[in-house]
Amino acid sequence: MENIDWKNLGFGYIKTPKRYVSNYKDGSWDTGCLTEDGTVALCESAGVLQYAQTIFEGLKAYRTVDGRLVTFRPDLNAARMVESARRLVMPPFPEQQFVDAILQTVRANADYVPPYGTGASFYLRPFMFGTDAVLGVAPATEFQFRVFGTPAGPYFRGGAKPISIRVTDYDRAAPHGTGHIKAGLNYAMSLYAIEEAHKLGFTENLYLDSATRTYVEETGGANFIFITKDGKLVTPKSDTILPSVCRRSLMHVAAYILGMEVEERHITLDEVRDMAECGLCGTAAVLSPVGRIHDHGKDILLPSGMEKMGPVCQELYDTLTGIQYGRIEGPEGWIREVEL
């Protein structure tokens, strides 16, 4: 659209013309359709309002170097949303219908997908919530699934400049809790900690495992990857972190395209002192380099420094974004083209 300044987009909601809606009632999802109505009217006692019965996903559509419209691995978001739904006693949204909803939403808002070369993309937000009245604690019986999209610039202001984060004393996820699903409830309770981090000058919180406070988990909304001094990619293994599509894709890129050794295992905070590079990965930011980790009065300064992304993270970033923007051929099935 002519009135959008593609190069200076932030990460915020910009209303686009069409969104997808499907409703669940009497045991099944309807066929779903696109609508222009971006508001939701609900009973005041709706399950989502009273007991936070809501889950979401996040993925992007890109305009490629040769002008195609593509999405990146939407099938993984569909599958993950099924897992989230199960954990919050919501009816799984059919995976094929999920992918179709994504493609329809992109196609209907194609003018809002930023042009190639601007560094921006089209962020898609699928979500689902309980709509009928509950008062005693119980799952809702009626649900709505929606997908809207919005043009988005890079998630972290200042682009790929290394960030400072801090080790927080707050917990994100309990053992056997809900840390592995993408639910609003995990974010509601992280707001206090992130506000506090921002006030103290840090971009994000590093959460440790809440059982032993020994192992690195993730930040509020992104997984960690580390590069060791001998060039291995290591990433935390934990049942209480969200299985990031971006992290899983970077692991594959590292192992099968860049020929690196990749390890998914417990990583103690102590070990982080010996890492060469650290990055945060998630759809919104792809890979944000971390230059400094503040831990209770002491700093871990990554050798990659505060000026630019370390060389290995840069190579991973260039390869993955190269696949997303169509400059590099990706593994089979990673790119789903939106036919216009």
Site residues (vs ligand PLP, CB under 6 A): 58, 182, 218, 221-223, 242, 244-247, 282-283
State the Cα–Cα distance between residues 96 and 84, nearest whole angstrom. 16
Closest approach, Cβ 329 to ligand PLP, in A, equals: 21
State the Cα–Cα distance between residues 9 and 121, nearest whole angstrom. 10
Q: What contacts 24+ positions apart, CB below 8 Å, involve 254-263?
A: 254/316, 256/331, 257/319, 258/315, 258/316, 258/319, 260/231, 260/232, 260/233, 260/312, 261/231, 261/232, 261/233, 262/232, 262/233, 262/234, 262/235, 263/232, 263/233, 263/234, 263/235
Closest approach, Cβ 264 to ligand PLP, in A, equals: 15
State the Cα–Cα distance between residues 200 and 165, nearest whole angstrom. 10
**Torsion sign across C-alpha atoms 313, 314, 319, 320:** positive
Active-site residue, from 182, 232, 237, 308: 182
Closest approach, Cβ 158 to ligand PLP, in A, equals: 20
Closest approach, Cβ 282 to ligand PLP, in A, equals: 3
Closest approach, Cβ 288 to ligand PLP, in A, equals: 11
User: Which of 125/327 has CB closer to ligand PLP?
Assistant: 125
Q: Residues 109-137, buried b or exposed e (16+ Cβ, 10 A)?
A: beebbbebebebbbbbbbbbbbbbbbeee
User: Which of 275/286 has CB closer to ligand PLP?
Assistant: 286
User: Which of 182/294 has CB closer to ligand PLP?
Assistant: 182
User: Which of 18/186 has CB closer to ligand PLP?
Assistant: 186
State the Cα–Cα distance between residues 167 and 170, nearest whole angstrom. 9
User: Which of 134/216 has CB closer to ligand PLP?
Assistant: 216
Strand segments (E) across 252-296 = 262-265, 275-282, 286-295
Closest approach, Cβ 73 to ligand PLP, in A, equals: 9
Residue 130 to residues 204, 207, 283, Cα–Cα distance (Å): 30, 29, 26
User: Which of 251/293 has CB closer to ligand PLP?
Assistant: 251
Residue 182 a catalytic site member:
yes
Which amino acids are annotated catalytic?
Answer: 182
